[in-house]
């Protein structure tokens, strides 16, 4: 009976040590860096925020205008007016994309309508020659997007 009690006490002690070390981390009872902070806790703490940062509207509009101004030979007044139109449309597009009440199809329809309005507003500030160049640029951009989609599908 004495040996059975001895083994029972030893087993109880070993189980209690295992439980204590499991609560505090790996091996040494204190984990890596403090109580209860094992490998998983440390790796989660050190990882940077993976949420993509939003690009400011002004930066996006600036890039668009860098391309349009020389291509369309815009004067300063046209540049400012068209930049304002693009600023408004990008803000509206962002608001539509963030609206959780709308379905994906509704968002798509509203953005298409927004781009049609945008094109009309931009064309109001352009002369006939600039309108033709603007139309050609839009068609070229559309072809580039289609080509990229085809390449993506072929690569997969």
Task: Give dist(CA 39, CA 36) in Å, integer.
Answer: 10
Cα–Cα distance for residue pair 36/134, rounded to 1 Å:
62
Residue found under tokens 């020659």: 129
Q: φ and ψ at 49, to 5 degrees?
A: -65, 120
Q: Among positive and negative, which fits the CA dihedral 92, 94, 100, 104?
A: positive
CA distances from 66 to 8, 56, 70 (A): 81, 16, 7
pTM of the model: 0.60
Residues 4-45 have pLDDT tens digits of 777 776 776 766 665 555 555 555 545 555 555 555 555 555
pLDDT at 152: 67
Domain-wise residue ranges, the chain: 2-46, 57-155
Q: pLDDT (tens digit, 9 = 90+) per residue, 98-137?
A: 888 888 899 889 989 998 998 999 999 999 999 999 999 8
């Amino acid at each position: 009976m004495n040996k059975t009690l001895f083994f029972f006490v030893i087993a109880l002690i070993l189980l209690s040590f295992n439980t204590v070390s499991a609560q505090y981390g790996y091996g040494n009872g204190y984990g890596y860096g403090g109580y209860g902070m094992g490998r998983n806790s440390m790796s989660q703490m050190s990882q940077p925020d993976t949420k993509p940062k939003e690009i400011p509207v002004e930066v996006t509009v600036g890039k668009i205008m860098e391309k349009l101004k020389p291509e369309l030979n815009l004067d300063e007044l046209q540049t400012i007016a068209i930049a304002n139109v693009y600023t408004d449309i990008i803000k509206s597009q962002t608001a539509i994309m963030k609206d959780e009440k709308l379905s994906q199809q509704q968002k798509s329809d509203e953005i298409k309508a927004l781009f049609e309005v945008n094109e009309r507003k931009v064309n109001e500030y352009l002369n006939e020659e600039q309108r033709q160049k603007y139309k050609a640029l839009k068609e070229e951009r559309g072809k580039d997007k289609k080509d990229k989609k085809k390449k993506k599908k072929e690569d997969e």
